Amino acid sequence: MSFPTRRLRRLRRTPALRRMVAETRLGVDDLIAPLFVREGIDTPRPIGSLPGVVQHTRESLVAEVADLVALGVPAVILFGVPEHKDEIGSEAWNPEGIVQVALADLRERFGDEVVLIADLCVDEYTSHGHCGVVRDGEVDNDRTLELYRRAAVAQARAGAHMVAPSGMMDGQVGAIREALDAEGHSLIPIMAYSAKYASAEYGPFREAVDVTIAGGGNRKGYQQDPANAREALEEIRLDLVEGADLVMVKPALAYLDIISRARHEFDVPLAAYHVSGEYAMLKAAAERGWIDGTATALEHLTAIKRAGADLILTYLAREMAELLHS
């Protein structure tokens, strides 16, 4: 007796069949657009290593967010480029600092129509480019937490719907939660950059925010070693104990195993950051005609969702939203 062959190809024959059985669906609601706003410029400035991405003026930022809102993108995350940097990054909590005024502009214009997330770190604001206070050649964890508390409160006061600590200091989520609660912002959620690796893929971002780490330094003393996976789960676990509402894995594609493990281990919203270097590699290869940029972008973002991410922070947000609507 012969058995009918199980033919998996039957369900792959037509686009409609494939759509019907797709296990993973990328949607506009999954996207968070990272945006840069720079103090003291009157026209947007292109970022060489991030084609299509700019440092916005306050005005062009509002226009960009209007377009994203019209496309249905639910959230943006803001990074500021200040005119003046100092040892402790005090523009990060100055009520007149660039991100604070930009948040106020956006909140006034869009209200609750789009989720305004404020990246919370000081590296864009420090003269040495580190994510905290440098003492004896090292970033001092607990002194840095004091700065993060101030920045969190300033961002919430300015109109942020959510803050996203990205500095990888131990205890940062707990410190920020406490500071927000003490100032009456107990309903402002925290999206923690929990498993953030010391990656070589952040290069273009540093151009975007004019950051050079002093003395050719790096962040290996506080960001995670790419060799470690279990440690990422411990980072997430601790952030949740400290009060994180959403957690993040960053970068994305080289860390799909971490996303997958985090998905299985924790029942909270999970974000992944498709970072500047991932975007730049894609764009560079597409520009040379070596790959199909749009198809690769869709494949990469779908893979990040398939691995288990609910949300993706990506510089592709706008073009993907346009594509998904077309």
Q: Is 277 helix (H, G, I), strand (E, B) or coil?
A: helix
Distance CA(45)–CA(78), nearest Å, equals 16
Q: Which among 84-92, 99-107, 118-126, 169-177 is the span making contact with ligand PBG, rule CB under 6 A?
A: 118-126
Q: For residue 251, say if its preceding peptide bond is cis, omega within 30 degrees of 0.
A: yes
Binding residues for ligand PBG, total number by CB under 6 A: 9
**Catalytic annotation on 220?**
no
Distance CA(82)–CA(207), nearest Å, equals 14
Phi, psi of 208 (to 5 degrees): -60, -30
Q: Which of 57, 166, 194, 224 binds ligand PBG (CB under 6 A)?
A: 166
Distance CA(49)–CA(257), nearest Å, equals 27
Q: What is the largest CA-CA distance in the chain?
A: 81
**Catalytic annotation on 283?**
no
Query: CB-wise, 22 or 216, nearer to ligand PBG?
Result: 216
Site string for ligand PBG, 219-258 (x = CB under 6 A): x---------------------------------------
Query: CB-wise, 148 or 205, nearer to ligand PBG?
Result: 205
Half-sphere exposure of 134 (CA within 13 A, CB side): 19
Q: Name residue 63's amino acid.
A: A
Binding to ligand PBG (CB under 6 A): which residues in 197-216?
202, 205
Query: CB-wise, 59 or 138, nearer to ligand PBG?
Result: 138
Q: Sign of the CA dihedral 314, 315, 320, 321?
A: positive
CA distances from 87 to 127, 128, 137, 152 (A): 5, 7, 13, 19
Q: Which of 64, 123, 235, 239 binds ligand PBG (CB under 6 A)?
A: 123
Contact status: 275 vs ligand PBG (CB under 6 A): yes
Q: Which among 13-21, 100-108, 119-127, 297-305 is the span making contact with ligand PBG, rule CB under 6 A?
A: 119-127
Closest approach, Cβ 121 to ligand PBG, in A, equals 3
Kindly list the catalytic residues.
196, 250
Residues near ligand PBG (CB under 6 A): 119, 121, 123, 166, 202, 205, 219, 275-276
